[in-house]
Structure 1
C-alpha cells in the first residue's frame, strides 16, 4: 500500500479489521482470509522536513542528524498522523537510510544489467566507462526523489540513442559497444562489429 497517509479514513477502518482479526468481511457476509498475508505500507511522512535538515542524498555523509534522530522525528510524525490503535497493530516500522553514492551506483548497475538483457536479446555487449557512469549518476540522482529519475535519464541519454543507431543499421547482433563521455558532456558510442555482423558483411561482398 503506497503512501498510506493519503488513504481515505474508511481504508484505515478496514485495515484495522484485517490487522486485528486476520480476515475481512464485506457487507454481504463474504469473508477473505488474510492469515498468510504480509501487508507492506509505505509513507513519505516527515521526509521533506528531514531532507531540509540533513541534506539527504549524496550529501548524507555530512548530515547533521544520525539515523536514530531521524527515526525519532519520523515516529513523532507518524503518531501525529495515525491513530494509536492503527499504529499498535503494525508489527514493525522500517526507516530507510538516505541514499549515498555507492547505493546509486549499485542501482545503476542493476538498470544497466536489465538493459543489457533487453538490448537485442542480450547478444550485444554494452560497456560503460567510469566517466559515462558518473555522468548518468549526476544527471539521474535528485536529493528529494533519490534514484527515481535515473530510469528516465537512462532512456534519454542511453536507450534512445542506441535505438537510433540500431535503426540506422550501425549496431548489428553480436556487436560490442563502448559508451564513454565526451569533452562536451555527451555520451559517445564506439561500436565494434560482432562475429555475425562480420559474416553478413562478408556475404554482401561475395
Structure 2
C-alpha cells in the first residue's frame, strides 16, 4: 500500500488569507491602533478555528483596507497585461487619468477590496474594445486613447 510522500516544511513559509474580521476592520478602521485591531481579529479567528489549528500558526498579519491609490495601482498592473496583448495585435492603448480614476472607483468595493476590479476591466474596457476591433472602428497601427465620455470609458483613435 502506498504511504504517500513526506514533505519537509523546514525553511518554508505558508501564507493563508482570510476575510475573518474584515467587517471589524471596515467599521473600526482609524479608531484603533494596529495592536488593538489585531487583538479583535484574533478573537474572531479563535471563534472560527479549533485551538489545535491556531496553535500551529506562528504569525498573524492584519492588513489595512485598500485605499483609492492602491486600487489605481492595481488597475494599472492589470491594464498593462491587456495593453501588452493588444500591442501584439498592433494596438497601442493609453488611458487618461480621468478614465483610470473612474475605473478604479467602479472596480472597488469597501468589503471586497480590489476583487471586483477584474470584472470592471472586462466589462468596461475589454468587451467594448473587442466590439470596436471586430466592427473595424479601431484600426491597428493607430494609437487608442481610453477617455471618459458621459460617465463611461470609451476608446477613441
Q: Once superposed, which parts of structure 1, at least 4 consecutive aligned residues long, lie more than 3 Å away?
A: 36-39
- Find the counterpart in structure 2 of residue 101 from structure 1: 68
1:186 aligns with 2:156: no
Residue pairs, 1:46-57, within 5 angstroms: 46-54=21-29
Aligned-pair CA distance for 1:140: 0.9
- Give 1:116 shift: 0.5
Q: 1:34 to 1:92 in 2, by over 3 A?
A: farther
Let me know the Cα RMSD of the aligned residues: 1.9
Q: Residue 146 of structure 2: SS of its match in structure 1?
A: strand
Distance 2:14 2:24 in 1: 27
Q: Distance in 2 between matches of 1:41 and 1:122?
A: 38
Compare 64-73 and 32-41 and name the one that shifted more.
Answer: 32-41
> Quick one: structure 1 residues 167 and 83, their matched pair in 2 at CA, closer, same or farther if it must change by over 3 Å?
same
Residues 29-87 of structure 1, C-alpha deviations (whole Å, 9 max, x = no match): 51322214643322221112332333xxxxxxxx2223222211111112222233322
Q: Rg: which structure is higher?
A: 1
- 1:74 corresponds in structure 2 to 41
TM-score, normalised relative to structure 1: 0.68
Indicate if the aligned counterparts of 1:116 and 1:122 stay in contact, CA closer than 8 A.
Answer: no
Equivalent position SS for 2:147: strand
Separation of aligned partners in 1, 2:92 and 2:70:
24
- TM-score, normalization by structure 2: 0.87
Alignment correspondent of 2:135: 168
Structure 2 unmatched ranges of 5 or more: none
2:36 aligned counterpart, secondary structure: helix
- Name the CA shift for 1:68/1:174 in 2 (closer, same or farther; >3 Å): farther
